[in-house]
Chain A
Amino acid sequence: MPDSNQELDARGLNCPLPILRAKKTLNGMAAGEVLKIMSTDPGSVKDFQAFATQTGNQLLDSSEVNGEFHFFLKKGD
């Protein structure tokens, strides 16, 4: 599990809110920093992959933990 600089609790939120909140949080972070996102929306698994490929932020890890989805996004340059 990668280390994270900041956490975002997106549990209980539905599409597109986890992505929008993540984007907003990343805006306030420096390049290279890692954001951990916790979500309960099953659609967010594919969506965070797509978000990463389209925005240049790197998805370091994506996993399911006790019915929750955890993502580690490294902010791009």
Chain B
Amino acid sequence: MIQFVNVTKSYDSNIAIRAVNLNIEKGEMVFITGPSGAGKTTLLRLIYRAEHPDEGQIIVAGWDVGKLKDRSIPYLRRNIGLVFQDYRLLQEKTVYDNIALTLRILKVGEGDIKTRVSNILKLVGIRHKSDSLPKDLSGGEQQRAVIARALVGDPTVLLADEPTGNLDPDTAMGILKLFKDINTRGTTVLIATHNRDLFAETGKRVIYLRDGEIEREALG
């Protein structure tokens, strides 16, 4: 599903990712961890083509990401659901409209949107917050809304960058359970986190990054 072949990315003279080789199978749930500056975020940004690799090849859901033309990037991103630490919900739109935005971009009809948004809100457990504005939600609820927005378009891959960074431990575990459920339904999930508690005892694959290189791999 995601394949890195000898990928290098640097910013000016700082190498963020150094000759990384990586293979993530369809339906896998993988954690990327490491200290700040290890290259976790850059690795994710390379996958959804917010960054262009300097060297090497990246294949995501059959797309050769490095060779993508600008106009094809949106179509790659429609296969990838994105979850961020800072949520990035549109503050002037309700939870419903934030989630519906993904489907409106995909030109789904309003009737279908209503059903799909309702179903996804039920899955993430905040159906009762459908008409609320993001500012009226707790951190955990906002993150659930972001996950709902990322999932509603049925992406093949879900990328999460420090998804529990702003949450208390209990809420973080609730979000982790949600990711596991999503993965069980067949979506490939890739989570970048420095929170070791998140992957401890999950039995999932953990990739340790240091100075842009894969230091080791283990099971959580």
Q: Do A and B come from one complex?
A: no
Q: B-side interface residues toward A, CB under 8 Å?
A: none
Q: A-side interface residues toward B, CB under 8 Å?
A: none
